[in-house]
Amino acid sequence: MNMNEMPFWEKPREKMMKYGADSLSTAEVLAIILRTGTRKKSAVELAVELLSLDKRGLRYLAECSPEELKKIHGLGNAKICELMAAMELGRRLACLPAEERPQIKCSDDIAELFMERLRYKKKEYFKCLLINARGEIIEESDISIGDLTSSASHPREVFTNAVRRSAGSIAFVHNHPSGDPEPSPSDIQQTKRLCEVGQLLGIPVIDHIIVGDGKYVSMKHLGLMD
């Protein structure tokens, strides 16, 4: 059976696109690199066979020379090059210096990061910041542009990525194109709703910053998140 004949939920590429790369087993990731199997084996089956050649599994394949890989049935020059290129990318990524991530210690830190980026925007940008246990921002994403209410009214969608990334906490920041950062009743309502969901999920909302023209408001400091 080749990958085209496999059920949708068993196809590595489709599974990756729908659920993300971290949902795949090592064999499935390897199968995507191999692309095709042999007449008798699917790419996934070939990947499982390759990982079973030695108890070291993937580490063994990473250490193989082209000559050693050529001895493995089902691996031609093209597959060997693709496999070795993927291993080399992994090695180069591992050698990169650690990325410096912005660290959030207080509301001022969030405001400083986003004031100049958002104060002149003509539309309302609602951003979500995922924060790890060390207070570092591990991901920044736009939840909505132009319409805060429609997106923030579905907290489950806001928190989906926070759960996937194992965020320790979460913060929100959005701008008021009017230049006045005073929170609206809708801002307060939506923020309280997000805080409730965060509490249920164990991912606390540490603050919601509203950026105006050269000034900002911390909803935490105003006591509007309780």
- Say if residues 109 and 101 touch (Cβ distance below 8 Å): no
Q: Domain 107-218: which topology?
A: Cytidine Deaminase; domain 2 (3.40.140)
What mean pLDDT comes out for the span 90-98? 80
Token code pair at residue 38: 């042999």
Given this model, what pLDDT does residue 102 score?
87
Average pLDDT over residues 169-175: 95
Whether 101 shows a pLDDT value over 70: the answer reads yes
Q: What whole-number percentage of the chain has pLDDT above 70?
A: 91
Burial of 39 per CB tally in 10 Å (0-12, 13-18, 19+) = exposed
Question: Using 50, 70 and 90 to split pLDDT, how confident is the model at 8?
Answer: very low
Residue 93 confidence class, pLDDT cut points 50, 70, 90: confident
Please give the mean pLDDT across all residues of the chain: 87
- pTM for the whole thing? 0.60
Of 121, 203, 120, nearest in space to 155 by CA: 203
Res 145: pLDDT: 85
What number is the average pLDDT over the span 189-203? 93
pLDDT reading at 97 higher than 60? yes
What local confidence, expressed as pLDDT, does residue 192 receive?
Answer: 93
Q: Give me the helices (H) in the chain, please.
A: 12-19, 26-34, 43-51, 58-63, 66-70, 77-95, 107-118, 148-152, 155-164, 185-201
Euclidean distance between CA atoms 145 and 126, whole angstroms: 6
DSSP conformational letter for 212: -
What mean pLDDT comes out for the span 121-131? 93
Q: Which long-range contacts (CB under 8 A, 24 or more apart) does 38-41 make?
A: 38/73, 38/74, 41/74
In the block, residue with structure tokens 């320790």? 168
Give the full edge-to-edge strand order of the sheet including 216-218: 137-145, 125-131, 169-175, 205-211, 216-218
**Boundaries of every domain in the chain:** 3-95, 107-218
- pLDDT band at residue 96 using 50, 70 and 90 as cut-offs: confident
Is residue 168 within 8 Å of 133, Cβ to Cβ?
A: yes
Q: Mean per-residue pLDDT for 125-129? A: 93
CA 178, distance to chain mean position in Å, is: 32
Query: Mean pLDDT over residues 151-178, rounded?
Result: 85
Q: Judge contact between 173 and 110, C-beta under 8 A.
A: yes
